[in-house]
Amino acid sequence: MAIFKYKDEEALGIVLSVDTATVIIKVADLDKLRRMQVNRLVVLQSSKPGQHLIGLVQKITRSSAEQEQTGQKEADEVEMPALPPQLNLVRASLIGTLIDRVGTKENVFRRTLETVPEIDAKCFAVEGNVLTSFMRVIANVPGEGQKLSLGHYTLDESAEAYLNGNKFFQRHAIIVGSTGSGKSWTTARVLEQAASLPSVNSLVFDIHGEYMPLTGDGIKHYRVAGTGDLVNKKGFADGILYLPYWLLDYEALISMFVDRSDQNAPNQAMIIARTVVQMKKRFLEENHQKELLDNFTIDSPVPFSMDALLDELNRLNVEMVPGARSEKQGDFYGKLSRMIARLENKRTDRRLGFLFQSPRESGQLSWLDDLSRILLAGTSQQLDKKGGIKIIDFSEVPSDILPLIVSLIGRLSFSLQQWMIPEKRHPIALFCDEAHLYIPERAEGDAANEVSIRIFEKIAKEGRKYGVGLVVISQRPSEVNHTVLSQCNNLVTMRLTNAEDQSVIRRLLPDSLGGFSDVLPILDTGEALVVGDASLLPSRVRIQEPKAKPNSGTVDFWDKWLERECKEGISEAVNAWRKQNLQ
Ligand SMILES: Nc1ncnc2c1ncn2[C@@H]1O[C@H](COP(=O)(O)OP(=O)(O)OP(=O)(O)O)[C@@H](O)[C@H]1O
Ligand SMILES: [Mg+2]
């Protein structure tokens, strides 16, 4: 059944002018004008039968002549003649076409303009039941089963705002908004719905341990090992992740071990490359991995011994070689001292224990199999059939190497998907909360940032082909890498107050929606502007509260200060700071 069945007398106005995708509508009646509001939808007659064009109201004006007359009326109390009707103008941008029937399908919405309206075409309102049915059509979510819903439309609380769950993850998404606008809650809402799907597969990079309260069969929690985990070396079963240093690729190793400002940096990088290859070869030889030996590169995830690497560096650093007359200093004599000291420091730094002091088994090839099986498997592929959504808590990872560690997991997921036989590939979405911290716009000479930007840019550009979706979440879109942002075709924008952030988001919006972005600073907490592949029509959505709420860390200062007694935790804090351990 066609949704739009208007009678001529229901028309609000008629088209006065058309300019590519913008129309000006003349509204004769003031009451009718009141039914038009900015950001509401209108329907326009198309020149093709069985089609209607959909417009988004952008601007409503009443002529100044009319206002003057109204003012006069009040002053003089004189009845004025009826106002000239052609002075009420509404500007709308055309955003798509609704076709009553295409083949066997009824009510098909397309984001293209198959025709433009003719002059004098009639314009109608989309309200009440018509709006509800229209929204249902445009939310045409494929397939049976559970759909992805964010909440309800602000325009019409009775209509549920569904997203196309395929398109949302296929073409990447961003969730942005000023601090406290509701990003983490929105993320929790998406996660909790995904969690109920039997084969869901996602990684959530939880930088502050905010998502701890999210639980259920579809969700598992992991934490990158902190200093407190180094003593009893708990493992995967207890939700503790070790990420041994040999998983880092060459660039990442260099960024960690070589100080760029050192005048010997190029030599040091070269020596690291040479020695790491030697050490990996030695490992493969000792483990009789003939096939791997023939084909591996420096970036291959093959374990090597850090002790052996250091021994070799120390040897080169004092090496004497035969000279013309007597022994002379080797090529690298004394040039590696600072790098060796740096490496020693990192190796013994307890905060980096998850890299350098992981359990003995982590030095085996099979460690990567185990780790990958945990991180890359959907719920139904997990041994216990639980936890396809893996929330990884990075709160104990030192901030200077956070980009290296998050991107390490990003690279691991991407590489495995890339190397998987296409028929066996199971899609995975990476939720990157606080993305500005590890996918920054500029690396600013920081090698760890460069490594991370490179990896996430690659995922943003090529992830779709390999079934890796990104959900970039940030309070500062202007500080998130623009190449990554521009690859994201779905936008969930919550309240944004900063002008720079607004302008970055505006540039990502389709041109025809320029005016829509004016609502960015006035959106309510928990309200979002949703635009993109997954929603067909831009809409304002009130996000439904997730069942389990993330720890958003909002502290009620005044109420706390009002308390007669407060808790004492200062000595404990001093102690924990010294130990670098909260437990
Ligand atoms: N959909 C919602 N409905 C009602 N209240 C909400 C909603 N979303 C968020 N809130 C309120 O706003 C607070 C902050 O939300 P949230 O933690 O999601 O913000 P955020 O955007 O992630 O902030 P930050 O950038 O600081 O992490 C919540 O504690 C909650 O009180
Ligand atoms: Mg948050």
Query: 484: CA distance to ligand 2 center in Å?
Result: 20
161 near 530, Cβ under 8 Å? yes
Locate tokens 């085996």: which residue?
Answer: 364
And the tokens for 50? 């069985």
Q: How far apart are CA 299 and CA 251, in angstroms?
A: 9
Q: Could you give the angle at the alpha carbon of 474 between the alpha carbons of 41 and 556, nearest 5°?
A: 95
And the tokens for 1? 């059944």
Q: Is the dihedral of CA 188, 192, 193, 197 positive or negative?
A: positive
57 near 126, Cβ under 8 Å? no
Query: 571: CA distance to ligand 2 center in Å?
Result: 29
Give the closest residue (by CA) to ligand 1 atom 24: 179
Within 13 A of 35's CA, how many CA atoms are on the CB side? 16
- With a 6 Å cutoff on the Cβ, whether 378 touches ligand 1 is no
Ligand nearest to the CA of 552: 1
365 near 304, Cβ under 8 Å? no
Which candidate, 177, 175, 215, places its Cα nearest to that of 196?
Answer: 215
Distance, first Cα to last Cα, the chain? 62
Question: Would you write out the chain's pLDDT as a tens digit for each of its 583 residues?
Answer: 788 888 888 899 999 999 888 999 999 888 888 888 887 889 999 988 889 999 988 889 886 554 444 444 444 455 655 555 457 899 998 988 999 988 888 888 888 888 888 999 999 988 877 877 787 777 665 555 678 889 988 877 777 888 888 889 999 999 999 999 999 999 999 999 999 999 999 999 999 999 999 999 999 999 999 888 887 777 888 899 999 999 999 999 999 999 888 888 999 999 999 999 999 999 999 999 988 888 888 999 999 999 999 999 999 999 988 888 888 888 889 889 999 999 999 999 989 999 999 888 889 999 999 999 999 999 999 888 899 999 999 999 999 999 999 999 999 999 999 999 999 999 999 999 999 999 999 888 888 999 999 999 999 999 999 999 999 999 999 999 999 999 999 999 999 999 999 999 988 887 666 567 788 999 999 999 998 887 777 888 999 999 999 987 678 888 888 988 888 889 988 988 887 776 6
Q: Is 82 exposed, middle or buried (0-12, 13-18, 19+ CB in 10 A)?
A: exposed
Ligand nearest to the CA of 501: 1
Give the closest residue (by CA) to ligand 1 atom 5: 526
Phi, psi torsion values for 190, nearest 5 degrees: -65, -45
Query: 394: CA distance to ligand 1 center in Å?
Result: 20
- With a 6 Å cutoff on the Cβ, whether 307 touches ligand 1 is no
Strands 490-493 vs 173-176: parallel, antiparallel or unpaired: parallel
149 near 141, Cβ under 8 Å? no
Q: How far apart are CA 265 and CA 71, in angstroms?
A: 77
DSSP string, 520-575: GGGPPTTEEEEEETTTSS-EEEEEPPPSSPP------HHHHHH-SS----HHHHHH
Which candidate, 33, 39, 1, places its Cα nearest to that of 11?
Answer: 33
Domains identified in the chain and CATH numbers: 8-138 (2.30.110), 152-242+366-555 (3.40.50.300), 245-357 (no CATH)
Most ligand 1 atoms within 8 A of CB, residue of 434, 552, 554, 555 to mutate: 552
pLDDT score recorded for residue 295: 84
- With a 6 Å cutoff on the Cβ, whether 209 touches ligand 1 is no
Ligand nearest to the CA of 547: 1
pLDDT score recorded for residue 142: 56
Q: Give the ligand 1 atom nearest the CA of 543.
A: 1
**167: how many CB neighbours lie within 10 A of its CB?**
19
Query: 172: CA distance to ligand 1 center in Å?
Result: 22
Which candidate, 110, 190, 198, places its Cα nearest to that of 150?
Answer: 190
- With a 6 Å cutoff on the Cβ, whether 543 touches ligand 1 is yes
Q: How far apart are CA 258 and CA 339, in angstroms?
A: 6
- With a 6 Å cutoff on the Cβ, whether 474 touches ligand 1 is no
pLDDT score recorded for residue 75: 47
- With a 6 Å cutoff on the Cβ, whether 185 touches ligand 1 is yes
Q: How far apart are CA 211 and CA 24, in angstroms?
A: 48
Contacts of 263 (CB under 8 A, 6+ apart): none
The one-letter amino acid code at 189 reads R
Q: What is the CA radius of gyration of the chain?
A: 30
**61: how many CB neighbours lie within 10 A of its CB?**
13
Which candidate, 5, 412, 435, places its Cα nearest to that of 205?
Answer: 435
- With a 6 Å cutoff on the Cβ, whether 475 touches ligand 1 is yes
Give the closest residue (by CA) to ligand 1 atom 6: 526
Q: How far is CA 521 from the centre of its chain?
A: 20
Query: 108: CA distance to ligand 2 center in Å?
Result: 37
Query: 545: CA distance to ligand 1 center in Å?
Result: 9
Digit-coded pLDDT (tens) for 474-489: 999 999 999 999 999 9
Query: 28: CA distance to ligand 2 center in Å?
Result: 48
**475: how many CB neighbours lie within 10 A of its CB?**
21
Q: How far apart are CA 148 and CA 447, in angstroms?
A: 39
Query: 142: CA distance to ligand 1 center in Å?
Result: 30
pLDDT score recorded for residue 169: 94
284 near 293, Cβ under 8 Å? yes
User: Long-range CB contacts (< 8 A, 24+ apart) of 498-504?
Assistant: 498/178, 501/176, 501/178, 501/476, 501/477, 503/478, 504/477, 504/478
Ligand nearest to the CA of 176: 1
pLDDT score recorded for residue 275: 94
Give the closest residue (by CA) to ligand 1 atom 26: 179
